[in-house]
């Protein structure tokens, strides 16, 4: 496992915070609907949303890492993008989460809009560019709930990576990595873990799913730029290699209208 270079890590930070920029071929913006529908249908045979996320996210392992999949900007019309042939860390989580919630392709697209955009409004300024706001908005809409642990601390961040958005101040409840690793009994498959960055102008540098391996080992399932694909990694190894200090956790919730 090769550690990301500083350059590639900065690229991923920019991708993560800005939600990715543009692609030139809009024909690439539509998901393989038959594949997504099959995952939705098969996923709902697996019971709880935690089990569905585990199944759907596992089915997408091996999918290539692909940056710059979203279309839009401060002076460019936002285009809703749904695809399953390549992901960055955020679009992977969004796609899996939407597929685990939805019962059909129409619900999938609606849910993906609501997860990616504040109030589901497809404009660049309503896109959840910072993951802190992604989390806040997806708690507001009851897609997720925050998970706290004893030993959590408050961390103040003033982010200004994206100049067009201006400075934003976040008071974040974060979990020290040692607490997180020591309390894995409080975790569930499909929990969304966000890795807080040391950079002063950003909030997070990466995100993925908590997964338990066949022998109970704690894994990170994520779209990794360093590995060029979606894969599972040992969580403790990822934390050590990347010098993680703090994480946050979100737990996906069953939709209110679940059958």
Q: Which domains does the chain have, with CATH numbers?
A: 6-252 (2.30.260.10)
Reported as a single tens digit per residue, the pLDDT across 186-212 is: 999 999 999 999 999 999 999 999 999
pLDDT value of residue 135? 98
Kindly tell me if the per-residue pLDDT of 14 is higher than 50. Answer: no
Reported as a single tens digit per residue, the pLDDT across 53-104 is: 999 999 999 999 999 899 999 999 999 999 999 999 999 999 999 999 999 9
Comparing CA positions, the residue from 35, 43, 44, 37 lying closest to residue 63 is: 35
Q: What is the DSSP letter of 74?
A: T
Round the average pLDDT of the chain to a whole number and report it. Answer: 88
**Residue 195 contacts residue 172 (beta carbons within 8 Å):** no
Reported as a single tens digit per residue, the pLDDT across 213-233 is: 999 999 999 999 999 999 999
Task: For residue 174, name the pLDDT band (cuts at 50, 70, 90).
Answer: very high
**Residue 70 contacts residue 226 (beta carbons within 8 Å):** no
Distance CA 250, CA 172 (A): 13
Mean pLDDT of 153-161: 93
| Model confidence, pTM | 0.87
């Amino acid at each position: 496992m090769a550690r990301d270079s500083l350059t590639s890590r900065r690229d991923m930070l920019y991708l993560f915070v800005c939600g990715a920029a543009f692609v030139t071929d809009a024909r690439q913006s539509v998901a393989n609907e038959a594949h997504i529908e099959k995952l939705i249908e098969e996923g709902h045979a697996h019971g709880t949303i935690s089990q569905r996320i585990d199944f759907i996210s596992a089915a997408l392992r091996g999918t290539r890492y692909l940056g710059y999949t979203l279309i839009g900007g401060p002076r460019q019309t936002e285009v809703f993008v749904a695809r399953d042939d390549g992901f960055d860390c955020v679009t992977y989580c969004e796609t899996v989460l939407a597929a685990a919630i939805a019962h059909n392709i129409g619900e999938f697209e609606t849910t993906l809009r609501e997860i990616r955009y504040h109030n589901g409004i497809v404009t660049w300024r309503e896109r959840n560019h910072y993951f802190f706001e992604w989390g806040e908005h997806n708690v507001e809409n009851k897609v997720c709930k925050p998970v706290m642990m004893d030993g959590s601390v408050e961390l103040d961040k003033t982010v200004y990576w994206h100049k067009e958005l201006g400075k934003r101040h976040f008071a974040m409840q974060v979990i020290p990595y040692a607490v997180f690793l020591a309390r894995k009994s409080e975790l569930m498959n499909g929990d969304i873990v966000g890795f807080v960055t040391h950079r002063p102008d950003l909030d997070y540098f990466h995100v993925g799913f908590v997964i338990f391996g066949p022998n109970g080992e704690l894994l990170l399932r994520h779209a990794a730029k360093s590995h060029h694909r979606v894969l599972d990694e040992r969580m403790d190894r990822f934390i050590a290699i990347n010098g993680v200090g703090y994480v946050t956790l979100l737990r996906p919730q069953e939709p209110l209208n679940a059958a």
